[in-house]
Structure 1
Amino acid sequence: MIMAILYQSSRNTTPRIFLMRIFLIFSIITVQDAKSQIVESQVVEKVQLLEETLVTANQQGTTLSRTSPLKTETITHAGLTKLACCSLSESFENSASVSVGFTDAVSGARQIKLLGLSGIYTQMLAENIPTLRGLAATYGWNYIPSSWLESIQISKGASSVVNGYESIAGQMNLEFKKPHNNEPLYLDFYTNNERHYEGNLASAVQLNKNVWTELMLHGTIANTAHDRNNDHFLDMPKMQYINAYNRWFYLNQERGVQSRTGIKFLYETRKAGQDSTCHESNGLPLLETLINNRNMTAYNKTGIAVGSKEGQSIGIINSFTHHEQNSDFGRKHFDGTQTSYYANILFTSFIHTPDHRYTAGVSFVYDNYDTEYSDSAEYNHTPLTKLQRTESVLGAFAEYTYSGIKGLTVVLGGRTDYNSLFGWLITPRANIKYDMGEYVILRASAGRGFRSPNVIADNIGLMASSRNFDVTAINGLDMEQAWNYGGSVAAYIPLWGEQRATLSLDYFRTVFQNQAIIDTERNRQAVYFYNLNGNSYADAWQADLSMTFLKGFDLFAAFRYNNNRITYAQESSRYEVDQPLVSKYRGLLNLSYATTFKRWVFDFTAQINGPARLPGLNGYSSEPIHSPAYPLLFAQITKNSKRFDVYIGAENLLGYTQKDPILGWKDPFARDFDASMVWGPITGAKVYGGIRLRIGDLK
C-alpha cells in the first residue's frame, strides 16, 4: 500500500527525492543518520517496504549493526519467535548482553540487567520515546507483548543526547509493528502446562491514501495455583491483565509530513503469596500479596520537511503517561500515582555538505509522583508516610556528526538541563566508529548520565520481606550520576561461498559519582538508603560469534564476564564488596536450523549462568557466600505456512530451581522472613505451545 504512494508521480517532487526526504524526516525523530541504533531500524523498515520478501527470507535472529556508531545488537522478529517470548521480559534468553531475573520469589516482577547493572540504568525507548520510567518500570517488562514487536535494538554505553540524560549503561529501543506494514488481521494464542493462557489480536487498515490505523489487543489469564517446592507460597502469582494499543500513521507526500499517534491502556491485577488452595492456615492469617496496576499513555511524533536544503527538517515529539499502582505485601503497603509529560523539538540540517550534519533542539520533562508507604508489623511499625515528588526538567542539546573521511564517523553531543530539584546538569557524550576496510569495525564511546532515584519502586522485591525500611532517608537522596566509557571491535570473517562469520569483542566500564545505595547487609532485618560514599563501578567484557556454516543452519555463541563493586558505609567505616546478586559470567549457545522456505524451524539454546555473591546475613563481616553456577536449556519446534504458524517448546528443560528462595517461609510474619534474595529460577521445567494466524490479504 505504502509503496504505491511513495512511487506515484507528484507535481512537486520526484518519487526518489520524496522517498529520501521522508526517510530523513523520520530519521531526525529517531536520532538522525548514523548516530543511533534507532536509525538503522528505520533503514530496515524502508528496505522491508521495497524488498520485504527478501528481508524476511534471510532474517537472522540477532544481528550486529555495521552502520551505527554505537555497538548495537538487534533482536529481529525472527529472533523474537525463536522462543515463546510472551512478553518483553522473556525476549532475551538468546541474548548474552541482557540478563533477566525475578526481583523476588513472590510478586512475579522481573528486571533486566545490562553491563551487570540493574535495568533502571538502561534508558528504555518505544520508537524513540522514553518509556517504562518510574512506577511504570516496576512491572512494565511484563506489559509489552513480544508479538506486538518488530524488533529490539540494544545499544551499550553512551548514547545520543537527543533522548535526554537518563542513559547510563545503555539504551534499548522497541520497534512496534507498523500500521502501514502489518496484516489486516493477526491472531495468536499461547498456553503452557501451568494453565497460563495468553492471546493477541492485531488488525491494520488503510483508511485513505494518507492514513493508516492499527488496533492491538492482549489478554492474559493465569488463575491456577502452583506450589512445586511445597513452601506454601505460590510459585507464580495468579494474574489477569488486558492491554490495548491503537496506532495511527499519517503520510502526506505533497506537504512532506509524516506523523505517528498512539494511545495505550492497561489494567492488571495479580494475587501472590500464600493462598488457601495450597496452604492450610489452621486459623492463622495468610501472607497475601495483592497488586493492581493501571496505565494510560498517549503520544504523537511528527516530522516536517522545511527550507530548501535536502534533508532539513523539524521533528516534534509529545508523550503523556498516567500510572496508578496499589501494592499490598502482607503488612507492607505501597501505593503510588505517577503523571508524566515529555516533549522534544528537534531541528536537523547540515553545514555546506551532508558530511557535517547536526541536530539541535529543546526538551521538557515533567514528573509528578504521589506515593505512600506503611508497615503495620509490630516490630518495625511505620505509619503511613507520604513520599511525594514533583520534578521538571528543561533542557537544550546539540549533536554534530562528521563523516567526511571514508570509514570514519564521529558524533559529538552535549546537553544542558535545569532540574527543578537538583539544579544544572551538564551531559557530554561522544561516539566514534572507524571501518578498517571491509572486514573490521572499531568503535569507542564515552559519556555521562543522570537519573532521579525512586528507591521503593526501583527495588520492589524488598517489599516481599519483613525488613524495616528507613524511609526517613529517602527524601535526602541525591541524583544518581555516572560516567560510562568503552569500545568494541567487530570482525566480519569470510568463510566459504557467500558465508561469513561475525566475531565481536567489547568492554565497557561504568563509574558512579553518586548512587542511591540500597543496603541490605548492615542488618538482615532492615533496609538502609543513602548516597554513595566510596567506590561503585561495573566492568563488563563480552565476546560474540555468529555464523551460518551450512545452508539454513545458524550458530550464535557468546560469553560475558562482569566485575561489579560497591561500597557500603556505616558512620566512618567503609566496606567495598562485590555487588550482590550479580552473576559473574554468562555463556550462551544458540543453534537454529530451518528447512527450505523456513517451513520447519528448530531452535535450541543452552545457557550457563555463573555464581553471584549473596547478601551477607550477619552484617558486613559475613563470610562471602556465592550461589552455584547453573545451566538452562530451551528448545522449540515451529511449523510455518503462509496463513499460520504452530509451535511447541520447553523452557528450563533440566528443571533447575533455586533451593528455598524464600527465607523463613514457615513463619512469614517473623522478622527473618525474606523472599527478595533470588538469584536463579523459581519455577521448574515448562512445556508450552501456541499458534499464530494471519487473515486477509498478506503483503
Structure 2
Amino acid sequence: MKKIIYIALALIAQISNAQDNASISGNVSSNDISVNGAVIKIVETSRTTITDSLGNYMFEKLTPGKYKIRVSYIGKKTIQENIVLIQNVNFQQDFYLENEDHFLDEVVITGTLKAVRRSESPVPVETYSPVFFKKNPTSNIFEALQNVNGVRPQLNCNVCNTGDIHINGLEGPYTLVLIDGMPIVSGLSTVYGLSGIPNSLLERIEIVKGPASSLYGSEAVGGLINIITKNPKGAPVFSADGFTTSWGEANLDLGFKANVGKTATVLVGTNYFNYDNPIDNNGDNFTDVTLQERISVFQKWNFNRKSNKLFSLAGRYFYEDRWGGEMQWNKSFRGGDEVYGESIYTERYELLGAYELPIKEKMLLSFSYTDHDQNSVYGNTKYLARQKIGFTQLTWDKKIKNHDLLFGTAIRYNFYDDNTTATVTADESWIPSIFVQDEIKFNEKNSVLLGARYDYNSSHGSIFTPRFAYKYKATANDIIRLNAGTGFRVVNLFTEEHAALTGARDVIVLENLKPEQSYNVNLNYLKKMYTGNGNFIGIETSAWYTYFTNSIIPDYDTNPNQIIYKNLDGFAVTKGISTNVDMTFQNGLKLILGATYMDVSKTEDDIKTRQILTEKFSGTWAISYRLPKLFIDIDYTGNVYGPMRLPLLGELDPRKEYSPTFSIQNIQFTFNKFKNFEIYAGIKNLLNWTPNNGNPFIIARANDPFDKNVQFDPSGKAMVTPDNPYGLTFDPAYVYGPNQGIRSFFGLRYTLK
C-alpha cells in the first residue's frame, strides 16, 4: 500500500513540474543602454521582478498559457506585451523604453554650451520630450508651450493672432529661441516665425529661465528655449502625424530618414497647416481666429567621419499666408480702406551647421544664417520688412584637473530694413564677442561655475556680462543651485512690438533708446523621492529676482492713441517663485503639476506700476492614466492664469482693466493597441472659455476700423460723440488669451523604426 502511495505522489509531482516548466526572460534597454532596476510585472498576478545591472530579467516556473507583461521605469514610458507560453519553452522578450518625463538625468547642453548630465549641470535646465507635448497635440511649438510652468504663449493681436513667448512674466523679446543651439528665431521671427517647426523632428526642448546673456548674448534676458532636433541616425525611418479639428483646422507632420551610402544620414521633416474657415462666434464681424496656410520643410544631414567627430548641416524653408479681419474681407481688399483686414506673407530661409575641427583638442565651429522677408498690411498701413542674421561661433572645450573650461568667440551680423519712418536707412550692425567659463569641481558635492562675456556692438559700444553659479549636491536626489548674472538687450521696436505696426496707435520715441541692462539671481532646489514599490515623486522649486537698471517698456497709459517709448527713469523688477511636481505611480497614473507666483513692476518717480499683460499667478497640469486592458491612455491637461492688467483706451473704456482668472483645459484619449499606430481624439478648451466673456466687446470700434467716424480734439484725442460714446478709436490690442472656443479633434500617428 505504501508503494502505491509513493508512486502516486511521484506522478503528481512530475505532472505538476511539467505544468510549471515554462519561463520568460529578456533584456530592458533605453537609448541603447541597459536599464538597471526596471520593474517587470505579470499583470493580474503577484509575480514581479527587477532587472539586474545588465538590464536582464527572468520569470521561471510558469504554467503554459497567456500572459500580459508590463515594464515600467521612472521617467520612461510604461509598455505592455502579450505573451503565449507553451511547455518546456524559455520565451525571449526584450523591451525598449522611451523617455516620458522631464525629471530625467538625461544629457542637456543649453545651460553650459556643453553636453552634461542634467544633475551635474550647475545651471538648472528643464527638459521636455515629445511624449510631453503629445498629451495635448498642437500644430506648432508656440501653442505646445502653453502647458509648461512659467512659460506663457502670449497673443499680441485679436486680428492676426501673432504672438511671442513670455518666461517668468517677461515679454517675448526677452526670450531667445534657439534651434540646435543656434539663434535662428529672433527679431521678426519671434513674432511671426515660431510656427512651422515640424514636430516630427523634435528630440526635446530645453528651457533655461533667467538671463543667459553671458553665453548667448543679446535677447537672452528673460531666458531661452532651445529646440533640439533629432539626430538622423536615431530617428525613425518614417513617421506621420496628422489631425483635424471640428473648426476645420488640418495639420500634417511627415518625417523620414535615409542613408546616403556610407557617407551620411539625412533626415527630412515637413509640416503643413491649413485653416480657411472664417468663424465669428462673438458677433463683432471680425474673424475669431486668423486664417492660415503654412508649409515648412526641414532637412538635416549628419556626415560620417573616420574620426567620429561631428559634422552636421541643416536647413529650413518656411512660408506662411495668414489673414484676419472683417468677415467679408478677401485679398482684393488688401491694403485698402474699404474692408479691414490684416494680411501677412512671411517667407524664411534658415541654414545652420556644426563642424568639430579635425584636431586633438575638442573645438566646435557652429554657424547659422537666416533671411526673413515679410510683406504685411494692417488695414491700409503697409509694413514691408527684411531681416538677415548671420552667426558664427567657435568654442574650445578643455579639461584641466578639476577645471572644466570653455573658451569661445562669436560674431553676429544683423541687417534690418523696413518701410517705416523709424528706419530711414537700413540698420546694419556687427557684434563680435568673446566668452569664457570655468566650472570648478571641488568634490562630489560642491562645484562653482564662473563665466564672462564681452560684446562690442557697432551701435552701442562695449557690453560686459559676468556670470556665477554654485551647485551643492547633498545627495544624488537633493541638489541646490544658485545662479547670478547680468543681462542686456538691444531694442528694435518694429521687430517685436506688434501694436506699433497695426496703425491703431502712433509710435512716439522720446529719445535715443539705450540697451536694456539687468541683474539677476536665481535659487533652485531639486528633490527626487523613490518609494519601495516603484513610485516616484520629483519636486523642483525656483525663486528669482531680476532688477533692470534700464528697460524699454511701452507706455499705453499716457495717451490712448499713442505708444510712447523712452529709457526707464527709475528701475523695473520681476520676482517670483515657481514649483514643478512630477509624480509617477506603478498603477499607471502620472501627474505633472506646476505653479508660479510673481510680481512684475516698474518704478518711476517713486510710483510703482504693475506691468501690462503679466499675471500674478499661474498653474499648469498634465494628468495621465493608462488603461492597459483597453489599450487606452487618458491625458487631461490645462492651465490657469491670474488677472493681468490690460491696455485700455482711456477712462471711459467700458472693458475691464484686469482680465479675470481663466483656465484652458483639454482632454485626450489615445488608443495604442496596433503596432506602430496610435489613434487619438479629444476635446480642446473644455470650458469653452474666450476673452469676450464678461466684456461688452474685445476689439474697440470694430464697426469703424478705419476711424472714419471718429472726431478728434486739437490734442489728437478721440472725442465723445453720439456715435462714439466712450471716445475710443479702433484697437485690436486688448488681448490676453486665445479667442478660440471649444472644439474636438481627431488624429492618427504612424511610426516605423
3-state SS in 1 of match to 2:193: helix
2:699 maps to which of 644, 647, 662 = 662
**1:158–1:445 CA contact under 8 A, matched in 2:** no
**Deviation readout 1:329-378 (Å, 9 max, x if unpaired):** 10322211011110001111122x2x21111121100001011227xxxx
3-state SS in 1 of match to 2:429: strand
3-state SS in 1 of match to 2:221: coil
2:191 maps to which of 138, 143, 149 = 138
Structure 1 letter corresponding to 2:101: Q
The aligned residue for residue 572 of structure 2 is 536
C-alpha separation between the residues in 2 aligned to 1:395 and 1:657?
46
3-state SS in 2 of match to 1:642: coil
**Deviation readout 1:616-650 (Å, 9 max, x if unpaired):** 53379999932111122111111224322111121
Deviates more, 1:360-369 or 1:147-156: 147-156
3-state SS in 2 of match to 1:653: coil
3-state SS in 2 of match to 1:613: coil
**1:332–1:373 CA contact under 8 A, matched in 2:** no
The aligned residue for residue 516 of structure 2 is 480
**1:193–1:687 CA contact under 8 A, matched in 2:** yes
**2:184–2:368 CA contact under 8 A, matched in 1:** no
Aligned residues between the structures: 623
3-state SS in 1 of match to 2:187: coil
**1:275–1:286 CA contact under 8 A, matched in 2:** no
The aligned residue for residue 240 of structure 2 is 187
**1:158–1:430 CA contact under 8 A, matched in 2:** no
1:370 maps to which of 403, 417, 424 = 417
1:445 positional shift: 0.5
The aligned residue for residue 101 of structure 2 is 60
1:674 maps to which of 731, 735, 739 = 731
C-alpha separation between the residues in 2 aligned to 1:461 and 1:87?
23
C-alpha separation between the residues in 2 aligned to 1:160 and 1:479?
13
3-state SS in 1 of match to 2:194: helix
Change over 3 Å in CA distance of 1:436–1:426 after alignment to 2: same
Change over 3 Å in CA distance of 1:194–1:647 after alignment to 2: same
3-state SS in 1 of match to 2:173: helix
> Does residue 637 of structure 1 match 2:669?
yes
1:73 maps to which of 98, 106, 126 = 126
Change over 3 Å in CA distance of 1:465–1:673 after alignment to 2: farther
C-alpha separation between the residues in 1 aligned to 2:256 and 2:297?
12
What is the RMSD of the two structures over their aligned residues, measured on CA atoms? 2.7
**2:413–2:431 CA contact under 8 A, matched in 1:** yes
The aligned residue for residue 558 of structure 1 is 594
The aligned residue for residue 407 of structure 2 is 360
Show the 5 A alignment for 1:164-563. 164-252=217-305, 254-276=306-328, 285-304=338-357, 306-307=359-360, 312-351=361-400, 353=401, 355-373=402-420, 386=424, 388-464=426-502, 466-470=504-508, 473=510, 476-563=512-599
Percentage of pairs with the same residue: 25
Change over 3 Å in CA distance of 1:493–1:185 after alignment to 2: closer
The aligned residue for residue 602 of structure 1 is 634
The aligned residue for residue 648 of structure 1 is 681
Structure 1 letter corresponding to 2:649: L
1:305 positional shift: 5.6
**1:427–1:448 CA contact under 8 A, matched in 2:** yes
**2:279–2:288 CA contact under 8 A, matched in 1:** yes
C-alpha separation between the residues in 1 aligned to 2:504 and 2:513?
23
C-alpha separation between the residues in 1 aligned to 2:247 and 2:669?
20
**1:158–1:429 CA contact under 8 A, matched in 2:** no
**Deviation readout 1:508-559 (Å, 9 max, x if unpaired):** 1121122222111111111111111112111121122211134321012221
**2:213–2:488 CA contact under 8 A, matched in 1:** no
3-state SS in 1 of match to 2:185: coil
1:442 positional shift: 0.3
1:462 positional shift: 4.6
C-alpha separation between the residues in 2 aligned to 1:438 and 1:182?
31
Change over 3 Å in CA distance of 1:357–1:62 after alignment to 2: closer
3-state SS in 1 of match to 2:302: strand
C-alpha separation between the residues in 1 aligned to 2:651 and 2:486?
33
3-state SS in 2 of match to 1:625: coil
The aligned residue for residue 586 of structure 1 is 618
C-alpha separation between the residues in 1 aligned to 2:433 and 2:337?
55
The aligned residue for residue 29 of structure 1 is none
Higher relative contact order (CA 8 A, sep 6+): 1
**Deviation readout 1:396-428 (Å, 9 max, x if unpaired):** 111111123112232111111111001011010
C-alpha separation between the residues in 1 aligned to 2:630 and 2:127?
21
3-state SS in 1 of match to 2:615: coil
C-alpha separation between the residues in 1 aligned to 2:337 and 2:457?
50
1:61 positional shift: 6.0
**1:521–1:620 CA contact under 8 A, matched in 2:** no
Structure 1 letter corresponding to 2:668: Q
Structure 2 letter corresponding to 1:170: G
**Deviation readout 1:670-697 (Å, 9 max, x if unpaired):** 26111111122311112111111224xx
Larger fraction in helix:
1
Change over 3 Å in CA distance of 1:620–1:523 after alignment to 2: farther
C-alpha separation between the residues in 2 aligned to 1:190 and 1:624?
36
